[in-house]
Chain A
Amino acid sequence: MVKKIHSSKTEIETILAKNVELENNYKRVLADYQNQERRFKEVQGQFVKYANAALLEKILLNLDSLEMAQRHLHDAGLEIVINQFQETLRNEGLQLIESDNQPFDPLTMDCIEVVSGEKDHVVETLAKGYLLFDKVLRPAKVKVGSGSPTVIARSEATKQSI
């Protein structure tokens, strides 16, 4: 008689434990789901604003080439075309990052080379950087001054490729 009660006690315990486990799992899944909902809403809001980011990044490469061409050709007509192009991009939320002669800022600029020039200041911009609304779409590629007439040799010694 006693044995039977004992076994049904553990049976109940097992069932209760399982119940607690299931409840916890359920709550977890519910929580995950709610998080997904929240994130989905956030992403949706972001999506509209930044959906063009990938496309714009590609198009900027073409603008780079046009500007490069203009530096060599000095054509009045091409100048107008480039201005138009830039205007169109500005209307999409693109903003140029001012880098020339600015103090170097790794948040918006990528230092490609260290050359002689004013210390920690941008000596030359190799590729323009842009913001899309308030986010950095593409950092400016710049040459930064070392403050000394010679380049720091050590940075070249690192075989670490970047």
Chain B
Amino acid sequence: MSKIIGIDLGTTNSAVAVMEGGIAKIIPTAEGKNTFPSIVEPIKNLVGDVAKRQMILNAENTVFSVKRLMGQKFSGKQAQKTKEIAPYDIEAGKDGMAVIKLGGKTFTPQEISAKILQKAKADAEAYLGGTVTDAVITVPAYFDDSQRQATKQAGEIAGLNVQRIVNEPTAAALAYGLDKGKNETIVVYDLGGGTFDVSVLELGDGVFEVKATNGDTFLGGDDFDRRVIEYIVAEFKKENGVDLGKDKQALQRIKDAAEKAKIDLSNSSETEINQPFITQHDGQPLHLTMKITRAKLEELVDDLIQKTIEPCKKALADAKLDKKDIAEVILVGGMTRMPKVQAVVKDFFGKEPNKSVNPDEAVALGAAIQGGVISGDVKDVLLLDVTPLTLGIETMGQVMTPLIERNTTVPSSKSQVFSTASDNQPQVEIHILQGERPMAPDNKTLGSFILDGIPAAPRGIPQIEVTFDIDANGILNVSAKDKATGKEQKITIKNATNLSDDEVERMKQEAEKYAEDDKKKKELVDKKNEADTLVIQTRKVLKDSGDKFDTSAKEEIEKSLNELEEEIKKADTTTEAVDTKLKTATELVQKYAEALYKAAGEKDKPSEEPKAEGEKSEDPKADEQKAEEGEVVN
């Protein structure tokens, strides 16, 4: 079965979502937005933003809010009310159901809705890269059988197998993951662009039951915008004596500005409206510049927000419940982003509303989740854990080398090859650490073990593969394997991901606090390691090819190496100090090495023999490279 998409078929806007990797996500439209207007021009076959753009020009043929006609009888109140305001003809069709007549043709509301669903289907197919044949479509909780049937038919006309019709508040609750919780009663407060709906749902054994619904079908964000527009026009008239309400062009700009201001004020306490050259008066251009505070906005729309309380009271009464019986309130619809709306809801219900899901997307996401459950995608929503803190081992110089970074989704497995720190090292200790700081002692020890039986070899030659494996339950298995002998040791650590949030926060903050210091410490250790490597390598060269150097050269080199060693051993040494001595020693060695090669090169000219010598002196260099490859394990 292909993916089952979830469609929020709204009055003003529609959205479509799908489950992927256990998570529901909104499918962007072909235009790149997350929702599209529920507007259709069936003659020219335009749907969405495109249809909206020619709506004024082609009003008689452009259908909006077709949802209000779905499953409605022509003689019914809804159809009659819509007929009054619609620029297209609404008549009685088969069985007295309301139908739309335009362009000389007749369309059932299902056929119009089908066009919206077809767009949703096409956008989903483009996104998923395959055909989509099944969908879950949402409807208001108060939709009767006739309305639900009409919605299902619309789906079928659009070429979709409607797996289920889901109630919008239920879908929202699914998006909030409330079906995973205990049996409880919740309220869904849905304040969208054009309508307000409040529903009381009872959750029992994973199934939602609608106990009561109420609302106001003509109250929404658009009304809020209108208040702001009116205010701006009034203020401008006061200041400039010009009524912008009569200027369609100006009104359009004010409308955009008002909507933007409304949104801005959800995040700031004040916003500016700047529309230069908004109009002309007595041949002079006039500019609209004003500030609106959040307090002023709240004042302008207060009565609108208060209008939502009465339906809430009625819904509770119908459900025969009291405010205190409500376990949770969830918010749906763009308008619920307004702080004042959230405050009023909190005030009335006596608890902080849950706004953790994007209110414009909740219904579509919930429909997708339902689709996922039906297709068997999601039996028990598999929420994967992440490792809260970095995991790694201790390496030379008391440094922590990470193997699994924090916030990696588990299960996960990472391997790295390490080597020995000294010649003929017979064993390595794997000291497992957890934390964010670069120095080992500053992190938490989870465990340690030893892998022995490493055959005698120069430092840096053995290859020890260390693997960190965390399973879905947070159990960490660490193994160390000697690639040469195949010998392996391992250890199991439980609860590697089990840390309280406080602990994780604390460790993160500590890491930040000491970040500068830790960085310096690590730099010093790295420099010391670098110096150490040079000392050992150079001593090796002197030992192997000492006869190539003259005595004074050897003495000089040995002296600088000793000084370098002294510096490293000093407790209070700094990165710069070590670096200075390191540079001196390096330059010295290079100088003599150069001389060596020069001499070898001159010898080279007449015969082949010296080449062997040339090769020999290359060995130290090759050694040097190899040693620097792997991190060194103590």
Residues of chain A whose beta carbon lies under 8 Å from any beta carbon of chain B? 24, 28-29, 32-33, 35-36, 38-39, 65, 68-69, 71-72, 104, 106-107, 109-114, 120, 126, 135, 139, 141, 144, 152, 154-155, 157-162
Contact = CB atoms under 8 A, between A and B. Distances in A.
Contacts, number: 80
B342 to A, nearest CB: 24
Given A65-B276, A154-B59, A154-B60, A35 B20 contact: yes
Nearest to B226: A161
B65 A114 contact: no
Contacts of B226: 161
B56 A111 contact: yes
Contacts of B52: 110, 162
Contact of B252 (A28, A104, A126): A126
Residue from B57, B285, B377 having most chain A Cβ neighbours under 10 A: B57
Contact of B51 (A106, A109, A135, A161): A106
Given A111-B54, A154-B59, A161 B222 contact: yes
B21 interface: yes
A35 B252 contact: no
A33 B22 CA distance: 11
B87 A155 contact: yes
Nearest to A38: B129
Nearest to B51: A106
Q: Main SS of the interface on chain B?
A: mixed
B128 A113 contact: no
B92 interface: no
Interface of B: 20-22, 32, 46, 50-57, 59-60, 64-65, 85-87, 127-129, 222, 225-226, 248-249, 252, 276-277, 285, 376-377
B129 A141 contact: no
A15 B65 CA distance: 52
What are the 6 tightest A-B residue pairs by CB atom distance, in nearest-first order? Answer: A106-B54, A155-B59, A68-B277, A110-B53, A111-B57, A106-B53
A144 B248 CA distance: 13
Contacts of A159: 85
A112 B21 contact: no
Nearest to B19: A32
Of B21, B46, B53, B248, most buried by chain A (CB within 10 Å of CB) is: B53
A60 to B, nearest CB: 13
Nearest to A110: B53
A36 B59 contact: no
Contacts of B46: 106
B50 A107 contact: yes
A92 to B, nearest CB: 18
A144 B252 contact: no
A19 B60 CA distance: 59
Contacts of A72: 277, 285
A160 B85 contact: yes
Given A36-B21, A113-B249, A160-B64, A154 B87 contact: yes
Contact of A68 (B20, B32, B276): B276
A37 to B, nearest CB: 11
A111 B87 contact: no
Contacts of A39: 127
22 contacts: A29-B21, A35-B128, A36-B20, A38-B129, A39-B127, A65-B277, A68-B277, A104-B57, A106-B51, A107-B50, A111-B57, A112-B56, A112-B248, A120-B57, A135-B32, A139-B53, A154-B87, A157-B87, A158-B87, A159-B85, A161-B222, A162-B55
